[in-house]
Amino acid sequence: MENKTLKEFTELTSSKDPIPGGGGVCALVGSLSAALGQMVTNLTIGKNKYLEYTFELTDIRKELEILRNNLLSCINKDAEAFKPLAEAYSLPKDTPGYEEKMEQCLRTAADSPLLILKYCCRIIELDERLAVIGSKISVSDAATSVMLAHGVLYGAYVNILVNTELMKNRDYAEKMNDEAVKLLDEYSIKALNIYDDICKRISN
């Protein structure tokens, strides 16, 4: 899935085929967010004004590259998690082991968007630093990156919720929900603050 062209990916997304769905799209957008952050580092490293941050920027660039590739891999992970869940839904409920199979499929399906959410939280953290030490000519790209990640937080969260709400093991489901909502609350606010701060600096 991750090797498809943008045209092919968007055509598949627009079709009645459930793959790629919201989770896969979140993974793609998150990867683009990381890529924009990388661009900020590449536009900054080597400039005399920012030489003191060279090692830090290099480390951030490396981490964003890992995040970008990990999020691309999540496109396939999300698709692979959906297939057995779809198959489980099609089974008669009196099938031996039905509830156990469905529970495991729901957990696997929720794992991918939770991972995507966590990756984007880290991108937001890195963007916060790039907004300070990144080249002024690329600060709008840092702002765009952080808001793409902000949007992914919400998309990933609802894709977690749609699976946890069907789980029979409510302790497990609520634990996952609590973890996700705490990250959503903290990092959505952080992302908006970063964006607002950048906009104020541009305006001034």
- How do the domains of the chain map onto residue ranges? 21-203
So what's the pLDDT on residue 204? 80
Q: How far is CA 22 from CA 14, 41, 58, 67, in A?
A: 11, 29, 32, 19
Asked if 179 contacts 110 with a C-beta cutoff of 8 angstroms, the reply is no
So what's the pLDDT on residue 93? 77
Whether the per-residue pLDDT at 91 is higher than 80: the answer is no
Q: How far is CA 119 from CA 48, 58, 81, in A?
A: 31, 19, 18
Average pLDDT over residues 71-88: 87
Asked if 84 contacts 105 with a C-beta cutoff of 8 angstroms, the reply is yes
Ramachandran category for residue 95: left, alpha or beta (phi over 0 → left; psi -120 to 50 → alpha): beta
Whether the per-residue pLDDT at 131 is higher than 80: the answer is yes
Q: What is the CATH number of domain 21-203?
A: 1.20.120.680
So what's the pLDDT on residue 37? 98
From CA 182, how far away is CA 177, in angstroms rounded?
A: 8
pLDDT > 90: percent of the chain: 76
Whether the per-residue pLDDT at 2 is higher than 70: the answer is no
Structure tokens at 112: 């991918």
From CA 171, how far away is CA 109, in angstroms rounded?
A: 17
**DSSP at 3:** T
Over the stretch 36-63, which tens digit does the pLDDT of each residue have? 999 999 999 999 999 999 999 999 999 9
